[in-house]
Every structure is written in structure tokens, then in C-alpha cells.
Amino acid sequence: MKTLLILLLVLLDLGQSLGAFHRVPLRRRQSLRKKLRAQGQLSDFWKSQNIDMVQFTESCTMGQSTNEPLINYLDMEYFGTISIGSPPQNFTVIFDTGSSNLWVPSVYCTSQACKTHPVFHPSQSDTYSEVGTSFSIQYGTGSLTGIIGQDQVSVEGLTVSGQQFGESVKEPGQTFVNAEFDGILGLGYPSLAAGGVTPVFDNMMAQNLLEFPVFSVYMSRDPEGGSGSELTFGGYDPSHFSGSLNWVPVTKQGYWQIALDGIQVGDTLMFCAEGCQAIVDTGTSLITGPPHKIKQLQEAIGATPMDGEDYVDGMQFCGSGFQGLDIAPPSGPLWILGDVFIRQFYSVFDRGNNQVGLAPAVP
């Protein structure tokens, strides 16, 4: 009887951890950086945006407004599909834990980027209502501006009613023209949201669409299509990780910010000996940190600097997974644990207990 009781408790716990969740498939496509490099346009793009072109490479065998560092989106490769309105209008978005707004291009957008992506038509939705307030998101290469509308938003069987979202009418320069995604769905805390908009996930919780106030991210290491990658709303899937989840408290509710005890290179503790702050960010491809520390790290792993002029068609190299990025106070300094990290560690974002769960991801 005691054994049966223990078994039932284990099964109950497993059921709670899994939850009645909704899987959102994520596809892996070529990043904007890779696309521009393949077209021989990366160096010109960097020059036009006044971006520091010095990157690092490792040797390899041939074979209201809110601020968001847009440069990170050059490397984004994992995207999912949502729909807005009734009947549904589909968009490819980045599910971004480093921001909190949902926005897509508007039919009234005047930028070149909107001509290469689907646009939202308010007049074609029976459930749309105009809010009319303006919003602006400041990026490293310009500002995204538009108006706020309200409609139903559906994500793989979950339909949020009355969701406020941004309809962009002006997008910065050439940045989004060749991007594989149409817009961004932010999964950060409400304090990050421009215009005081309630984020999609908060409305999911408020409308009782989820059994548990949790979402989780698995990013496959499959280099082609990212087969099996998924975002899960309402729980997590133990088949995607080995061992047990290590729960780390959120230290500041804006980004999904946690404390790091230290950063080692090999067996050597190189940074954060007294602890530092980091964010787990699905909207950043690489691992970033203060530029002077990243430079030391690059040297420690044997990476060598490479100017943007050196990117030529047909060149083969292995890019370092680290990038220097200054995040100014009061938010910074912060390290960012992006997709390079999340591919290695299955990540669970728990709003109920304000904590992040991490465990080694199953390849």
C-alpha cells in the first residue's frame, strides 16, 4: 500500500509538472546576419548602421517607449506562428523573453520592410477595436513606431481575447526588410511593456487559459530546420531534459533576471567572482556581456578578432558564441544568456513562483 501511495504521488507530481500545456512549434531559419553575409551585404549593412564590425571567430575544421538592442535580432533563427483577428491573419514572430510587447506590421506602414512581410488589416477583422494610442520601441538602429490596437490573438489553440498590440507604421531602415520574422511577441514582465500594455502571457493567466502560469523553451541543435524545437505554454516537458530542474529565483521582475555565482572558462573562475546579474533571453542569439570582459573571454578561448570587411562569399569559419554588449544602468551591467545557452539548457519560466528552471537539454 505504501509503495502504491508513493507511486501515485510521483504520478501526481509528474502530471502537475507537465500540465495541460500547449506546444508551439519553433522553426529554425537562416538568420539575417547569415543571409546578408551570403549576399555579400553584411559589411555595408554594418557601416550603414554605425555598428562595431569587429567580431570574433574560432578556428574550425573546414567541411511609452522601451529599449531593446536590435542588433541581437540579426542572429535570430527560431520563429513561431501566431494569428491576430477573426478571421485569423497569420504572422511569423520571435517569442522574446527580453521584451514584453506584441507588434506586427500594419497595413498603414510606410516603410520598405512592410512591403516584404504580411501586414495586419484592421478592417478585415470582425473582432478588432481601435485603441489609438501611439507606441515607440527604441532600438539600437532606430525606432519602431505605430499605434495600439486590440483584437484576439491565437497561439496554437490558445485564444486571448481583448489583447492590445502594436501596429507598426514605421520600421527602422533596412533592418527588417530581409528579416525572416514579421513581428515580435514579448514574454517579459509587464514593467517592460511600452504604452502600459498588458503582455500576452499575462492575459493568458488572467483569462484562465493555462493550468499553470508557466512556459518553457526547447531549442533543438538540429542545424537545418531545428526539428523538435518548441515553446510550451502551461507547463514543461521532462522528455526535453535530463536530471532535475535547477530553480533559480528571479532577482528583478522586468527581464527574466537571475543571479550568477560566477563564470568559469575551463576550470578557471574568470568573472563574477562575487556574483553578477544575467537575463535568460530567447530574443538574443548569443551570450553577451560587458565588452571588456567578453574580449578577455574571447582571448581565453583562443578566438581572434575579425573585421566585417573579411566576410566574403564562400568563406568558411566558426563564429564565437559570445558578443560584447553594454547594457547601461539602471538595468545593467547585465550578462545575457541567449539561444547559445538555451540550446544547452532547457529553460522553464515560472511566473507563479517568479523563478527560472534550468536543466541540461536532451539533444
d(CA 33, CA 49): 13
Q: How much is the pLDDT for 14? A: 40
Q: How much is the pLDDT for 246? A: 97
Q: Residue 8: left if φ>0, alpha if ψ -120 to 50, beta else—which one?
A: alpha
Active site residues: 96, 281
pLDDT (tens digit per residue) in 51-88: 444 444 433 333 354 455 544 555 556 889 999 999 99
pLDDT (tens digit per residue) in 256-293: 999 998 888 777 778 888 888 999 999 888 888 877 78
pLDDT (tens digit per residue) in 125-148: 999 999 989 988 876 555 689 999
- If pLDDT is split at 50, 70 and 90, which confidence band does 20 have? low
Q: What is the mean pLDDT of the chain?
A: 79
- If pLDDT is split at 50, 70 and 90, which confidence band does 299 have? confident
pTM of the predicted model as reported, rounded to 2 decimal places: 0.82
Instruction: Provide CB contacts within 8 A for 260, sequence distance 6+.
Output: 272, 275, 276, 277, 278, 335
- The closest alpha carbon to 187, from 151, 160, 225, 147, belongs to 160
The grid coordinates of residue 98 equal 527580453
Q: Is the pLDDT at 228 greater than 90, yes or no?
A: no
